[in-house]
Amino acid sequence: MTGPSDSGSGDPRHVPDLAGFAHTWARAVAGTSYVPMTHTEIEIHLRGLAQRLADALLAEPFTAVPGHQIGADLAAAGFVAPEALGRTAAVLAGRLLADVGLTGDEAAGRLGALLDAVVTGCVRGIRDRTLDEQEAIRRAALTAREQAEQALRASEVRLRYLALYDQLTGLPNRTLFADRLAALVADAPAHARIGICFIDLDGFTAVNDSLGHRVGDQLLIAVADRLTDLASAGGYLPARLGGDEFALLVTGTTCTDDMVKVADRALSTLRAPVRAGDHDLPISASVGIVERRTGGADPAELMRAADTALHWAKADGKARWTVFDAHRSARDVVRFRLSAAMPAALDRDEFTLVYQPLKDLGDGRIRGFEALARWRHPELGVVFPDRFIALAEDTGLIVKIGLRLLHQACRQAVAWQRGYPQPPFVSVNLAVRQIRHPSLVAEVAAVLDDTGLAPDRLQLEITESAVANDRTDTIDTLAALADLGVRLAIDDFGTGYANLSYLRHLPVHALKLANAFADCLRTPDPTDPTGEAILGTLISLGHTLGLTITAEGIETPSQARRLAEFGCDLGQGWHFGRPASTRRVAQLLTAEHGRPG
């Protein structure tokens, strides 16, 4: 062998310059793998490896062992592409011996053994690195997936929260409240009882409108806080059902009174003003209560009952609680059904009139008839106006019904006009909403025109309350009606304001005295003549104002006689005839006038 024999110290030896070798090596592996070094740095790095290879070749005794580490270091530096290893082997085999200055079989043998070790070390390095990287990326993927799943779970929790809780106040929302109620009803023993309060702030819209939603929101939060305190002290479930409506769910009640106590506490905790922004807002609330045995209860129906009771509390004047009452609710339901049936009833002409005579208290002859509305309901039979006129007023349908009935009454009066020399007038009631309706005057004129009724044969009855407020548009309407030649009468006079002074300014022609005045004549109290005195004064004052006076509710001959003595002009009541059909009316008129000519 030709190499130096000294070995083992690891000292650098004098070897031929390896710069050329490193340069060739660097060019050979350039671009095969990404190595974060400049070309110069790569050359310097490979020159270091070349030096270690040369040292190994020249070492005595020779061992190929360092080759493993050199190969591993090559891989560690980033020369991991298959091409990098292949070209490295080619360069080493091609010129390393020559550059180191070795020749001969033994040197070739050493190189072969060294190459074996370098390739083995390098491939093992690459393989380990590949395995490490695969492990790292899989671990990263698992971590990422775990985090994504965690985030998903968190978002599901959040979604669930969003679905079941009110975002503003953090209270359970209507859904959660209803779910909890349904679960309680389903699971509770039959004898258990349950109570619900629906709590609605009074006048909350005004707060929002006048002070803004921020203040409104603060108010709602404050209310929620107070109800939460109340609920946690009593073990109730509070909820915000929406808007300014809250609720409490109470289990284990023993009777309705228990819920009334809860409602009282709720009302009292809400009584103190709420500090919102710069405002001390006075608040009040209305509460609807339902309390009953859990067995057989229907959760949705319980909610409806509480809601209904809440509406009653509002309608009854707010700032109070109202307990749900099945009977009241049933009446409400009937009213609602009647109300809902009215438009179709109008289409089917189910609203008709009956006529009650108004007789002259002097000669007892018929002077007119009051037209009274009836609803000929296909199932309920004849429905009286006290059951449906107010409903029609609420829905506004009274305007259409009233016009239809006015038309009907006028047609009837025209028939009398044609049949009898001194035809009676017809007196028709006008509802407040009709009077307020802008086209009333035009419609009345059109009806008169259509039917050909002489205007003075039509009397329109309006209630005292309709004119008592002195609205100028009402007075204008009455004046316009009077200009048509129609007679106007104040109906039920004496039940409301009984203010004679306003009558001076109104273009009215007649007063109809309320039943109460006739009543005081039926059972005269000799020790207290006040009733009669007032009646006499009213009649004479009415006459002073040029008004015709009609007394209603006359049931006995003595009442009629007494009123005649007071100078009352006309009388109406069972004594003179009950409301009757047109056929019956025709008989009455024929009896007075003879057969129509």
Main-chain phi, psi angles of 354, to 5 degrees: -120, 160
Helix and strand numbers (H, E) in the chain are 22, 16
Instruction: Pick between residue 140 and residue 390 the one whose CB is nearest to other proteins.
Output: 140
The answer to whether residue 80 forms part of the interface with other proteins (CB under 8 A) is: yes
Minimum distance from CB of 150 to other proteins (Å)? 8
Confirm or reject binding of residue 136 to other proteins (CB under 8 A): yes
Of the residues 4, 20, 108, 143, which one makes contact with other proteins according to CB under 8 A? 143
Distance CA 285, CA 246 (A): 10
Judged by CB under 8 A, the residue of 19, 65, 90, 148 near other proteins is 148
Binding mask 158-187 for other proteins (x = CB under 8 A): x-----------------------------
Q: 38 or 523, CB closer to other proteins? A: 38
Transcribe 405-463 into DSSP letters: HHHHHHHHHHHHHHH-SSPPEEEEE--HHHHHSTTHHHHHHHHHHHHT--GGGEEEEEE
Interatomic CA distance for residues 180 and 186, integer angstroms: 10
Interface with other proteins, residue 36, by CB under 8 A: yes
**Nearest distance from residue 81's CB to other proteins, in Å?**
5
For other proteins, the binding residue among 130, 268, 395, 587 (CB under 8 A) is 130
Among 103, 155, 439, 540, binds other proteins (CB under 8 A): 155
Phi, psi of 292 (to 5 degrees): -165, 175
Interaction pattern, residues 350-379, with other proteins; x per rule: CB under 8 A: ------------------------------
User: Is 144 a residue that touches other proteins (CB under 8 A)?
Assistant: yes
Candidates 106, 133, 316, 476; binder of other proteins (CB under 8 A) is 133
Report whether 408 contacts 353 (CB < 8 A).
Answer: yes
Contact call for residue 145 and other proteins (CB under 8 A): yes
Instruction: With CB under 8 A as the rule, give the number of residues binding other proteins.
Output: 31
Among 2, 4, 34, 537, binds other proteins (CB under 8 A): 34
CA diameter of the chain: 166
User: Which amino acid, residue 362?
Assistant: G
From the list 146-154, 197-205, 334-342, 419-427, the region that binds other proteins by CB under 8 A is: 146-154
Reading the block at residue 186, the tokens are 């389903």
Site string for other proteins, 39-68 (x = CB under 8 A): xx----------------------------
CB of 137 to other proteins, least distance (A): 4
* Residue whose tokens read 């009334």: 260
Identify which range of 106-114, 140-148, 268-276, 457-465 contacts other proteins by CB under 8 A: 140-148
Q: Which of 128, 25, 31 is nearest to 81 (CA)?
A: 31
Give Cα separations from 152 to 140, 144, 147, 160, 486 (angstroms).
18, 12, 8, 12, 78
Alpha helices for 77-167 (secondary structure H): 82-91, 97-100, 104-164
Record the tokens describing residue 306, joined without a space: 């509480």
Q: Tell me the β-bridge partners of 510.
A: 489, 548
Name the residue nearer to other proteins (CB basis): 129 or 404.
129
Task: State yes or no: residue 137 binds other proteins (CB under 8 A).
Answer: yes
Short-list 290, 249, 287, 289, CA closest to 270: 287
Verify binding: residue 33, other proteins, rule CB under 8 A: yes
Binding site for other proteins (CB under 8 A): 31, 33-36, 38-40, 78, 80-81, 129-131, 133-134, 136-137, 139-141, 143-145, 147-148, 151-152, 154-155, 158
